[in-house]
Amino acid sequence: MKTLDKKITYLLSAGLLAAAIMVLLYMDHNRTTYNYSLSILQRSAIYAVAAVAMNLLTGFTGLFSLGQAGFMAIGAYTVAILTIPVAQRPSVYYISGIAEPLAQATAPLWAALLLGGLFAALLGFFIGYPVLRLKSDYLAIATLGFSEIIRAFIAAPMLNRVTNGSYGLKSIPGFPSTLMVFLISGLCIFLMVLVIRSSYGRAFQAIREDEIAAESMGIGLFKHKQMAFVISCFFTGISGGMLAVFMRSIDSKTFQIGLTYDILLIVVLGGIGSITGSVLGSFLMTAGREWLRFFDNPLTIAGVQVPLFRTGFRMVIFSLILMAVVLYYRKGLMGTKEFSWNGIYAFLQRLGQKRSKTRPGKEGGNDE
């Protein structure tokens, strides 16, 4: 099959990127009209980071972890505690006051995000010691447990003076500019792609394919699993931090197991082992839920009210669509493939061939 010239694919990618930035800039400029869509896109971008981080672990290293919500919480609380303006802290911690060293501790947004990621990574490093010796489902259950422990800690009354317990944190300043979310998310995903494409990423994939063979190739299993886990936790933490800044108020309920499932759903929907799939999945899922709001409103056709259209019905439709996708695209939308211009080119070529096959006379005799 013919492939495209490398230069052309670079040009096309640059073009697509430029177009996306233009669209975002345009939407940002007319914020009054597009505010809602922009916030959906922002949320998608944040989820995309968490989804790619999960994919790095599940899709590329073969470790099935369900601790995303916990690590996101670590990132989110770190960022929130460090970025709430000092003047507003007494009003946020109005119940039990704020712990002394934290009362004055502030950090710029980028440093807070980085620190949030680092804390999550550090925790991942320690949790990794016991749990990474487990395999498949057992690992998932153990990480799920740890994630709940983190959440319970955050909500615990003993930590009221740090996390404000079950009252949550509010007055978190938002992003200074709308595009920043996309910039940070893009950077995070780019970094993860770099890791996956490096020699270490290949070692991760070897572990996914066959642990015993990987070990006999001189790849230290625990060391590399730990590495993948810590990297994943780092970016999950950053994603959580961004979520806090985006939502502007968080509490421990934000980071319930449902958040992990959302991320898992994105990864499965997009394709386990496909980065572009995860990104696509997060946009489809976040946007899909909103597009389906149509089903939440009562609908009257020709004077008859359609019975099922009421609040909550969209989630039924959403679930049905998910089931259909999983049934018909068993490996997710992208499978383990990545988006590439060559892929699209090949697809178009195949389409063209089919056309010409159905038209007799032209190339009809070329059937094998």
Partner 1 sequence: MSETVLKLNRITMQFGGLMAVNDFSMDVNRGEVVAIIGPNGAGKTTAFNVITGVYAPTNGSVDFCGETIISNRPQGKMRKLYAGDADSICDRVVRKTPDRITKLGIARTFQNIRLFKSLTVFENVLIAKHMNIKANLFSAAFMLNRHEEHRMRQETAQLLEILELADVADEVASSLPYGKQRRLEIARAIATGPELLLLDEPAAGMNPQETNDLIHLIHRLKQDFQLTVLMIEHHMNLVMEISDRIYVLDFGRLIASGTPDHIQNDKRVIDAYLGVAEDE
Least distance from partner 1 to the Cβ atom of residue 73, Å: 25
Binding flag, residue 215, partner 1 (CB under 8 A):
yes
Local structure of residue 313 (DSSP, 8 states): H
Binding flag, residue 198, partner 1 (CB under 8 A):
yes
Site string for partner 1, 329-358 (x = CB under 8 A): -------x----------------------
Instruction: Choose between 278 and 286: whose C-beta lies nearer to partner 1.
Output: 278
Instruction: Choose between 88 and 336: whose C-beta lies nearer to partner 1.
Output: 336
Q: Out of 191, 247, 265, 321, point to the residue binding partner 1 (CB under 8 A).
A: 191
Q: Cα–Cα distance between 128 and 226 in angstroms, integer? A: 6
Q: Are 77 and 52 in contact (CB under 8 A)?
A: no
Give 327's contacts (C-beta < 8 A, 6+ positions apart): none
Identify any residues that bridge with 305 across adjacent strands, giving them in sequence order: 300
Instruction: Choose between 136 and 319: whose C-beta lies nearer to partner 1.
Output: 136
Q: Out of 41, 45, 63, 203, point to the residue binding partner 1 (CB under 8 A).
A: 203
Scanning the chain, the segments in alpha helix (DSSP H) are 6-29, 31-55, 68-83, 89-92, 100-103, 109-131, 136-155, 160-163, 178-197, 199-209, 211-216, 221-247, 257-270, 275-291, 313-328, 341-358
Q: Out of 16, 194, 306, 315, point to the residue binding partner 1 (CB under 8 A).
A: 194
Q: Out of 29, 133, 202, 359, point to the residue binding partner 1 (CB under 8 A).
A: 202
Q: Out of 155, 214, 243, 245, point to the residue binding partner 1 (CB under 8 A).
A: 214
Q: Cα–Cα distance between 38 and 304 in angstroms, integer? A: 35
CA distances from 352 to 220, 348, 357, 361 (A): 48, 6, 9, 15
Q: What is the largest CA-CA distance in the chain?
A: 84
Instruction: Choose between 94 and 190: whose C-beta lies nearer to partner 1.
Output: 190
Binding flag, residue 3, partner 1 (CB under 8 A):
no
Least distance from partner 1 to the Cβ atom of residue 216, Å: 5
Q: Virtual CA dihedral for 198, 201, 207, 212, nearest 10 degrees?
A: 10
Least distance from partner 1 to the Cβ atom of residue 240, Å: 22
Least distance from partner 1 to the Cβ atom of residue 143, Å: 22
User: Computed over its alpha carbons, how large is the radius of gyration of the chain?
Assistant: 23
Would you list the DSSP string of 316-356?
HHHHHHHHHHHHHSTT-SSTT----HHHHHHHHHHHHHHHH
**Contact window for partner 1 (CB under 8 A) among 72-80, 145-153, 212-220, 289-297:** 212-220
Binding flag, residue 195, partner 1 (CB under 8 A):
yes
Least distance from partner 1 to the Cβ atom of residue 114, Å: 15
Instruction: Choose between 63 and 219: whose C-beta lies nearer to partner 1.
Output: 219
Binding flag, residue 205, partner 1 (CB under 8 A):
yes
Q: Cα–Cα distance between 129 and 222 in angstroms, integer? A: 9
Least distance from partner 1 to the Cβ atom of residue 204, Å: 10
Q: Cα–Cα distance between 55 and 258 in angstroms, integer? A: 18
Binding flag, residue 132, partner 1 (CB under 8 A):
no
Instruction: Choose between 228 and 259: whose C-beta lies nearer to partner 1.
Output: 228
Q: Cα–Cα distance between 231 and 121 in angstroms, integer? A: 7
* Chain positions contacting partner 1, by CB under 8 A: 191, 194-195, 198-200, 202-203, 205-206, 209-210, 212-221, 227, 231, 336
